[in-house]
Structure 1
């Protein structure tokens, strides 16, 4: 009787095990550590400001000023966080803010009062976002190129509208929002708008299907498409959202400065991208955090305020910001490699 002996199974015959997915508890832990780290950095900056210029920095008016200045770029950063999370980029946000602010402060627009200025600023922002979205999602253009073209076009149009001059706002209902009498429990209206946009942005990104689709598109566009997500439409919506945030920021800037200028929003794109990155949003897409982005904005705004109070040159300030950005990216890469 012949006995059949099964040949030994080597490693090639073994059924491969499914790849391990990151434990959600581990991801949450890393997110908490990142947030606590940013809060620690912010606390150190507040301590430095309090030690170097205690009377000026810790004054209530100065703290209100810091929050007010953070509000404008903060609203832009919320929109930028969504775009970067999806794997895109928007270099035109500063130029869109400038265009929206000057278009909303023309003499013809101001004749319609508060509503006319607000509506125009938002409409121009959304319109520019629509153009960006169509070029990128349906035109097949690379986001870097499409938004760079929008940057140049919007800046040029803003300069053409103003002819290089500052447009003064004469609508009292708009100017009154920048006065201390309009503060609610000591909080400037601009800060309240920023807080509202932040809360809505957090809820949309973390608690809605739209937010989950944004993360999916940024993580793996092809897998998202196979899962039934309309990737092109999602990208269009995201640039519309970015444009909406730019329009809101332009209106806040009009309140803050009482004017519209073609130089408004200068380098906002770099500040917004930097704040999102140091906050923990991956530049390659697939992960975003509104909380981290807001903390990033507060960190940069506090640095600017401390440098101004201590009469330090702006070039040193830019070097400090650059060092923070490099450190944040290196930390991100190290974290990604261990995931």
Structure 2
């Protein structure tokens, strides 16, 4: 009996191996270069603004005290923006950050809280921020409420609670150790303590986003939540953690604002949500999710804060300032739309 050759056994249309086609992908896209160019462009914009400030008001703008003021003002919203960057990178949004700052600041400056001194104020501010962030995270991750709606509702609710606590009045801080952080004698090598806190949060945020599994999961969820789920990522838990992180940043920012203003008010953090979102967007974080940059967000904050300072020093009207900010935001979104792979159809 003659047996067919091994090659003959594998022949036939049903058992023939599928043809393999190799795609010529060409050279890899210079993603790192693109990020560097974007960062350099922001540094260029910031340099131009510094030059404008130095030319229009050289003595006032370049004064050491004014530069310290710019950095200090950028620090509060900057910490909020770090948390917002994580949320937007995951494909979410948090419209309640300003209200969280207000609620945390007034809760931390009540007479009952101030009796516990410095530690009581810090602990309360952070705890309130985490608590509100937890509620946002549970509603969005497990309640399946759209982030825009959930955080918009929290914006109104937190503002209402802050107003109820203060009864519309300003709560003055009497704890000396807290107030001292805002005084020049507390500066470290000429750097205000609030700026050092901002720097620490920025470094921690950069490491968390770029050097940890948490950061990679955040980017994956923002890029494609279903694919992330199939890859074994607990998407709901990840989103919960992200809104907790946003609340933590708001609690820290609330304490910084207490130091800066020496009081707690229900109007604190007004429009912080818009400033944080705008800074993150012009910094290079995709509003659709999947890409975020802490360095870019920080530069975005510095650009906006410098613009505000230049307008104030030159006695220009605030409406022109808002128009300038709006134009920058629109330009940044248009650039994102042209450079992002998602924009291709």
TM above 0.5, one fold? yes
Give the superposition deviation at 1:17.
Answer: 5.2
Q: Report the secondary structure of 1:97's partner residue.
A: helix
Alignment of 1:185-200 (within 5 A): 185-200=189-204
Give the superposition deviation at 1:130.
Answer: 0.1
Is 1:268 aligned with 2:272?
yes
Q: Pick closer, same or farther for the CA change 1:185–1:128 going to 2, 3 Å.
A: same
Q: Report the secondary structure of 1:316's partner residue.
A: helix
Is 1:175 aligned with 2:179?
yes
Is 1:315 aligned with 2:319?
yes
Structure 1 residue aligned with 2:9: none
Q: 2:262 aligns with which of 258, 265, 275?
A: 258
Q: Pick closer, same or farther for the CA change 1:16–1:141 going to 2, 3 Å.
A: farther
Number of residue pairs the alignment of both structures matches: 326
Structure 1 residue aligned with 2:238: 234
Give the superposition deviation at 1:336.
Answer: 1.1
Is 1:75 aligned with 2:41?
no
Q: Report the secondary structure of 2:340's partner residue.
A: helix
Which runs of 5 or more structure 1 residues have no equivalent in the other structure?
A: 1-12
Structure 2 residue aligned with 1:328: 332
Structure 2 residue aligned with 1:296: 300
Q: 1:133 aligns with which of 121, 130, 137?
A: 137
- TM-score normalized by the length of structure 1: 0.94
Which runs of 5 or more structure 2 residues have no equivalent in the other structure?
A: 1-17
- Moved segments of 4+, more than 6 Å: none
Q: 1:184 aligns with which of 177, 183, 188?
A: 188
Structure 2 residue aligned with 1:38: 42
Is 1:158 aligned with 2:162?
yes
Is 1:280 aligned with 2:267?
no
What's the Cα RMSD here?
A: 1.5
Q: Report the secondary structure of 2:282's partner residue.
A: helix
Give the superposition deviation at 1:167.
Answer: 0.2
CA distance in 2, matches of 1:217, 1:309: 43
Give the superposition deviation at 1:18.
Answer: 6.0
- TM-score normalized by the length of structure 2: 0.92
CA distance in 1, matches of 2:324, 2:22: 47
Q: Pick closer, same or farther for the CA change 1:225–1:47 going to 2, 3 Å.
A: same
Q: Pick closer, same or farther for the CA change 1:20–1:118 going to 2, 3 Å.
A: farther
Q: Pick closer, same or farther for the CA change 1:318–1:15 going to 2, 3 Å.
A: same
